[in-house]
Amino acid sequence: MEREQIRISVRNLVEFILRSGDIDNRRASLDTMEAMQAGSRLHRKIQKKMGSTYHAEVPLNIIIEEENYELGIWGRADGIIIEETVTIDEIKGVYLSLDLLEEPVKVHLAQAKCYAYIYGIQNDLQKINVQMTYGNLDTGDLKYFSYEYSMQQLQEWFSDLILKYKKWADFQYEWRKKRQASIKELAFPFPYREGQKELAAGVYRTIARKKNLFIQAPTGVGKTISTLYPAIKAVGEGLGDKIFYLTAKTVTANVAKETLGILCEKGYRAKSVQITAKEKLCPCEEVDCNPVSCPYAKGHFDRVNDAVYDLLQKENNMTREVLLAHAKEYQVCPFEMCLDTATWADNIICDYNYVFDPNVYLKRFFADGIKGDYIFLVDEAHNLVERGREMYSAALVKEDILAVRKIMKPRSSAIEKELGKCNKLMLEYKRECETYQIYESIPNLIFSCMRLAAKIEEYMQKNPEFPGRDVVLDFYFELRNFLNIYERVDEHYVIYGQHDEEGRFVIKLFCVDPSFNLQECLDKGNATIFFSATLLPVQYYKELLTNKTDNYAVYAKTTFSQDKRLLLIGNDVSSKYTRRTPEEYGRIADYIYRTIKKKKGNYMVFFPSYLFLKKVHEAFELRTDETITCICQESGMREEEREAFLEAFQGEKEESLVAFCVMGGIFGEGIDLKREQLIGAIIVGTGLPQISNEREILKDYYDKKEGMGFDYAYRYPGMNKVLQAAGRVIRTAEDVGIIELLDERFLQNDYQRLFPREWEQRSVCQLSNLEEKLATFWEEKHL
């Protein structure tokens, strides 16, 4: 019989078992600063120079037979030099000045020793050499450290390493047995709604075939359970081992957490963790991760493995409260402990960043570039297009260069000189830029930035504390990100300069098409399910979220009756810029007032901008009376202000409530107001993004590529905001409500072809017959 195998990479093994000491943001982010993209380039450069005895990128693995399972340890040696004495070459690209490197980093050498042991055992060697090759990613300079080991030395060292890991492997084996047995018995926790069983089966088939699936899932489908349940069943059949439930907002993460809770009540045994932002988990008043400022940072790595092991013995559901209490008991950083716990979890609920963002992604899962047994469930997937563009774009601001120059002038003439060169180049670009300027390439600036980054790196290594250090460090990370993103620049990017709203001059590496970068991350898992209530047109999302051409797509059936909703299109109003007059604002205010007066209740009105909201609100205030309470969304609302805003929808009131909101804002999606909490959504305008340099760049790019520039840059993103806003109303089978689309453009074919199937029943109205249509609907519903 085939035995159960527990697998771990050499890199993860040594980093996990051998780490020790403090968390220190003053140094840790700079000490070993490996950059995946730039590092790969350095590897290839070094490997090409070597002779015929040098064998590059050699896969190595070893199976260790334990009593109940096999322990599989795998990795890839950067180079093996096969001469009279074999040498394992481990290459590390760093930003650290090599003059400051007196010996190899402990875990780097340990990685090389693992490869030496595996190769030596498999080739019956008596001794073997290890060479550590450090390359500076800015200068290309190299530094070598060489060691000779007998196989007996390596055998003793490696056996001790495995012994320390054995309790973790034992835990994995025992827990996996319990998990798999529980999944076998797990039944769908509710009666299937119409079409729900077919949807779940489609998700399962997609995972089994290792493909991508796009699901247009109208409200009422039960998308969370319809994706999570088949994914869990797929894990039970060995089609995956970890489920990543990826979200854009905390509220959708909470729904996933609740759904997992329901399945656990039905007998599912799983370790689940929700990764919360560092700021929300930090027990200190200020997030400053070093042993001087934070008692949890001091000696963190000496205690964290024991903390995680104890947590896994006690808890299955690692909530924020559980993590905080346990971190306090062990005096470790709760955020870092949370990330470590995810290594052993079956289900990981987290923001998109932790899988896709090259600066934030979970390196313990994705850094080795080797596929894992992961299933990705991407909730509210329409958000990933813009988020993907943000994650893979980078900007350099001229004024930031000047600010850092001011700080560094009295401290380092070398850095001040390099900053001056960068500023001079930026000034040249600025002078030729009126609105925005597109550049084919910026090699001189990139070369100058590389020299600058190297100088700052070296200075900060030698001077861990100085006034203004935080500003310089933030700039350094922005600079590094700019250089790293430049490595990705290809035909899916546009490089441009512009004067931003604050008057600063910015050069941006703009990822107009994020599909290739996103797919690179998706390839590290087995299958991906994208789902949202608004994935229309699905071809648009297929093209921008993945570069695969064999994706599946499903339009899930809704169980909600169209009779419970009145959909009206007002054809005598518009949000076009040419129509934005006091008369038009007054007409829209009349629509809102008459709608609310026809039926007491809670309403939301969505506008294309804060300015438009303000103008209509002024007109509405002239018409309203004491039977209506009006509240307005404000820009930059804090969390407690958002909660207070939504609290206004709770409970019975004598008067009607109307909330003026902005489309695409914090109240435009993700909020769940059921039954009497919301009976109407009035949507003013088609949601088109405001004209900007970036939107025009997108338009030009997709005009050249597909002749659909306006659709890709404006219409599709705009209609997505409209559909999301409309989706706030009917949330359950018992809900009854109205949706008004106030813009004559909604009658054009280009917009109507983007309407979901559930909008087949709709009616055109004017201000003159609005009340009649509303009265008929509400009377029919006997409400």
Q: Residue 226 has which token pair? A: 């319809």
Q: Which residues pair with 317 in a beta bridge?
A: 272
As a whole number of angstroms, the distance between CA 674 and CA 734 comes to: 9
Helix axes 151-184, 106-122, angle to 10 degrees: 90
pLDDT, residue 576, reads 93
CB atoms < 10 A from the CB of 428, how many? 12
**Of the candidate ranges 318-332, 456-470, 505-519, 522-536, the one whose mean pLDDT is the lowest:** 456-470
Same domain, 534 and 677: no
- The domain boundary residue, chosen from 342, 359, 382: 342
How far apart, in whole angstroms, are the C-alpha atoms of residue 177 and residue 68? 11
The total of structural domains in the chain comes to 5
Nearest to 724 by CA among 685, 667, 643: 667
Let me know if residue 278 belongs to a domain: no
- Return the pLDDT at 194: 86
Sort 576 into a burial class: Cβ within 10 Å, 0-12 / 13-18 / 19+: middle
Name the token pair of 568: 């009206």
Per-residue confidence band for 1, with pLDDT thresholds at 50, 70 and 90: low
**Interval 344-388: pLDDT, tens:** 999 999 999 999 998 888 888 887 667 889 999 999 999 999 999
Q: How far is CA 87 from CA 13, 80, 82, 101, 722, in A?
A: 22, 6, 7, 22, 62
Please indicate, yes or no, whether residues 290 and 419 belong to a single structural domain of this protein.
Answer: no
**Whole-angstrom Cα distance, residue 209 to residue 43?**
34
Claim: this prediction has a pTM higher than 0.85: yes
Tell me the mean pLDDT in the region 709-737.
Answer: 93
- Burial code (b: 16+ CB inside 10 Å, e: under 16) for 534-551 equals bbbebebbbbbbbbeeeb
Looking at every residue in the chain, the average pLDDT score rounds to 93
pLDDT digits (tens, 9 = 90+) for 74-110: 999 999 999 999 999 999 988 878 888 899 999 999 9
762: its two tokens: 């709709």
pLDDT in tens, 143-187: 999 999 999 999 999 999 999 999 999 999 999 999 999 999 999
**Predicted pLDDT of residue 31:** 43
* Cα distance between residue 179 and residue 346, in whole Å: 9
* Residue 716 domain flag: yes
User: For residue 190, is it within any domain?
Assistant: no
CB 570 within 8 A of CB 590: no
Q: Are 607 and 616 in contact (CB under 8 A)?
A: yes
Same domain, 525 and 605: no
Q: What is the pLDDT of residue 369?
A: 66
Looking only at the bridges linking them, the beta strands covering 527-532 and 505-511 are unpaired
Adjacent-strand bridge partners of 272: 317, 347
Question: Are residues 692 and 714 located together in one domain of the fold?
Answer: yes
518 and 490 fall within a common domain: no
Identify whether the C-beta of residue 418 lies closer than 8 Å to the C-beta of residue 386: no
Q: Which amino acid is at 733?
A: A
Instruction: Check whether residue 291 and residue 215 sit in a common domain.
Output: no
For 10, residues 6+ apart whose C-beta sits below 8 A from its C-beta are 60, 73, 74, 75, 111, 114, 115
Q: Give the pLDDT band of residue 29 (cuts 50, 70, 90).
A: very low
Q: Is residue 189 part of a domain?
A: no
Range of the domain at 484: 397-511
For 37-56, what is each residue's pLDDT tens digit?
566 777 788 888 888 999 99
Query: 91-110 burial, b for 16+ CB within 10 Å, e for fewer?
Result: bbbbbbbeeebeebbebbbb
Q: What is the pLDDT of residues 561-617, one digit of tens each?
A: 888 999 999 999 999 989 999 999 999 999 999 999 999 999 999 999 999 999 999
Write the DSSP symbol of residue 753.
T
Q: Is residue 692 over pLDDT 80? A: yes
pLDDT score of 32: 43
Q: Per-residue pLDDT for 299 more than 80?
A: yes
Confidence at residue 139, expressed as pLDDT on a 0 to 100 scale = 83
Please, which residues have CB within 8 angstroms of residue 662's CB and are 6 or more apart in sequence? 606, 607, 608, 609, 610, 613, 633, 668
Query: Residue 425 belongs to a domain with what CATH number?
Result: 1.10.275
Q: Do both 442 and 352 map to the same domain? A: no
Sign, Cα dihedral of 63, 65, 68, 73: negative
**Band of pLDDT at residue 195, cut at 50, 70 and 90:** confident
| 35-71: b (≥16 Cβ within 10 Å) or e | bbebbeebbeebbeeeeeebebebebebebebeebbb
Average pLDDT over residues 256-284: 94
The contacts of residue 537 (CB under 8 Å, 6+ apart) are 716, 753, 754
What end-to-end distance do the CA atoms of the chain give, in Å? 66
- Predicted local distance difference test score (pLDDT) of residue 121: 96
CATH number at residue 112: 3.90.320
Q: What is the mean pLDDT of residues 539-544?
A: 96
Same domain, 160 and 138: yes
On whether both 743 and 703 belong to a single domain, the answer is yes
Listed in sequence order, the residues at least 6 apart from 780 whose beta carbon sits closer than 8 Å to its beta carbon are: none
Q: Is residue 47 located within the same domain as residue 109?
A: yes
CA distance 748 to 768: 21
Listing DSSP states for 315-352 in one string gives -SEE-HHHHHHHHHHHT--HHHHHHHHHTT-SEEEEET
Same domain, 309 and 442: no
Give the angle subtended at the CA of 283 by the CAs of 306 and 666, to the nearest 5°: 120
CB atoms within 10 A of CB 735: 20
**Contact by Cβ (8 Å): 573, 585:** no
Identify the pLDDT of residue 100.
83
Structure tokens at 416: 């001040």
Check the CA dihedral 747-751-753-755 and report its sign: negative
Which of 743, 616, 724 lies closest to 665, judged by CA? 724
| Residue 539's CATH number | 3.40.50.300
- Boundary (domain end) residue, out of 445, 476, 511: 511
The pLDDT of residue 2 is above 80:
no
pLDDT of residue 706: 85
Look up residue 565 and give its two tokens: 């909703």
Tell whether 182 is covered by a domain: no
386 and 404, same domain (yes or no): no
Q: How high is the pLDDT of residue 783?
A: 53
Q: Is residue 277 part of a domain?
A: no
Q: Rg of the Cα trace of the chain?
A: 29
Residue-level pLDDT at 661: 97
Tally Cβ neighbours within 10 Å of residue 491: 10
Cross-strand partners of 394: 509
